[in-house]
Amino acid sequence: MVGNVKADGAYVVYIGMQSVRVGASAVCRTDGNMAEYSAFSLLRNAFNSNRDWKQAWRKPEPKPSYDVIVIGGGGHGLATAYYLAAEHGISNVAVLERGWLGSGNIGRNTTIVRSNYLLPASTRFYEFSMKLWENLSHELNYNVMFSQRGILNLAHSPAQADDYIRRGNAMRLSGGDAEWLSADEIGRKVPGVDVSGSARFPVVGGLLQPRAGTARHDAVAWGYARGADRRGVDIIENCEVTGFLREGDSITGVTTTRGEIRAAKTAVAVAGSTGRVMKLAGIDKLPIESHVLQAFVSESLKPFVDMVVTWGAGHLYMSQSDKGGLVFGGNIDGYNSYAQRGNLPIVEEVMSEMVAMFPSVARVRLLRSWGGVMDMSMDGSPIITTGPLPGMYLNCGWCYGGFKATPASGFSFAWTIARDEPHQINAPYTLDRFHRGAIIDEKGQGATPRLH
């Protein structure tokens, strides 16, 4: 799968034999003579004591009605609003955020972007997302610091190696990139990993996706927010949805802490709060459980590891930020939770895995840890769909893997909202797939959300 910029400035992504036009490049996207952010504007503002920067997004009062309301000002909600305006010309849109912009999972993740999936629906979706990531800073004229430093999945047994190689082959067959590395190659590439035979879980090899990497998570939220705002979208912070307005079965708007807002279409992209918000619309049960995931950052170190490394004997993923901190996380706590904080057993587990993988970090101090609420679906795959009520659209089930999906999620959700039908990349991610037996269970764990 490849993407490129056409002569007219459109960015085109190829999915198999089909191509999809994804907006324009930065050159013709910016309406004025030059991009709002450029080397020249940096210089000009530097000489001007940085007094003339415009706010990245306005703080508008909510209007009584819009064409589309997007509930949730996280990455997916903001991306949805952006693509509604940029791709479909629907700019009379409000994004309603309960707290401040970026206060949820978009500001709480471990920033990993990858598309190393096995199943066709997943590789298609996440590879599409990867193509959008590769052009995102240009598209938004906002540096999201997308760094394709690669992701390495360590394998610790011959069976696991077989499994990873199978996944690598599936990725390559669908147009992605994957390489198998031997333990020796891993030792040279990532010197900190214990590849000795005496390791508690010896490394037998690893699957590398070179195009994977990390991005600055806040910048993704801010970039999409600014892009949407400049196209006329109202981003309304501190505006909690308290109920839905209905006419018969149809949703015709919402009641909020800042008054009633009506819209022909109401889209819900609230991740861990899906259960809460959907209950307000009378949807009492969904194939979703909310769980808490913790993440950690160490004190700053000198350059130590230049890619994302995951540990296969348990569940651990780690990278080093540009500031030098090791950013890492592991499993979810494993019980239903709406609290943005976890418990100590997982802290202990993650630290012990970290030391098993990189023995040299045993004495590094932890700087911060935090928790976020994850919308764990019953098959580990998301839901991006019309409904379940008329006038309503639902985006949820991200299972602590939503950050990398942000561009594709926003793109396909905007498509679904604008056209009342799914894009080909999100067509499999329906809500009724569970009852039809068409689940997309990447890990083969069954209907056990805590294991996805």
Interface ranges with another protein (CB under 8 A)? 273-276, 279, 284-290, 334-339, 343, 345, 348, 378, 434-435, 447-450
| Minimal distance, residue 439 CB to another protein, in Å | 9
Helix (H) or strand (E) holding 171: helix 158-173
Closer CB to another protein, 43 or 447, in the complex: 447
Region of residue 211 (left: phi > 0; alpha: psi -120 to 50; beta: else): alpha
d(CA 83, CA 23): 9
| Minimal distance, residue 108 CB to another protein, in Å | 17
Closer CB to another protein, 151 or 396, in the complex: 396
Closer CB to another protein, 214 or 337, in the complex: 337
Sign of torsion, CA 155 332 388 253? negative
d(CA 281, CA 288): 16
Closer CB to another protein, 196 or 448, in the complex: 448
Q: 336 pairs with which residues across the strands?
A: 291
d(CA 384, CA 294): 25
Token match 């396909």: residue? 412
d(CA 316, CA 450): 15
> Would you call 164 helix, strand, or coil by DSSP?
helix
| Minimal distance, residue 187 CB to another protein, in Å | 34
d(CA 335, CA 288): 13
| Minimal distance, residue 74 CB to another protein, in Å | 17
| Minimal distance, residue 333 CB to another protein, in Å | 9
Closer CB to another protein, 159 or 339, in the complex: 339
| Minimal distance, residue 184 CB to another protein, in Å | 37
Closer CB to another protein, 64 or 437, in the complex: 437
Closer CB to another protein, 175 or 388, in the complex: 388
Closer CB to another protein, 129 or 290, in the complex: 290
d(CA 50, CA 46): 5
Q: Token digits for 112?
A: 């990993």
| Minimal distance, residue 117 CB to another protein, in Å | 22
| Minimal distance, residue 290 CB to another protein, in Å | 6
Sign of torsion, CA 324 363 334 100? negative
| Minimal distance, residue 429 CB to another protein, in Å | 15
Q: What is the dihedral of CA 298, 301, 306, 312, to 10 degrees?
A: -40
| Minimal distance, residue 32 CB to another protein, in Å | 45
Other CB atoms within a 10 A radius of the CB of residue 281 amount to 19
- What is the DSSP code (8-state) at residue 64? S
Closer CB to another protein, 314 or 359, in the complex: 314
Closer CB to another protein, 95 or 374, in the complex: 374
Q: Token digits for 143?
A: 């540096």
d(CA 425, CA 408): 8
d(CA 282, CA 374): 21
Q: What is the dihedral of CA 278, 281, 283, 288, to 10 degrees?
A: 0
> Would you call 313 helix, strand, or coil by DSSP?
coil
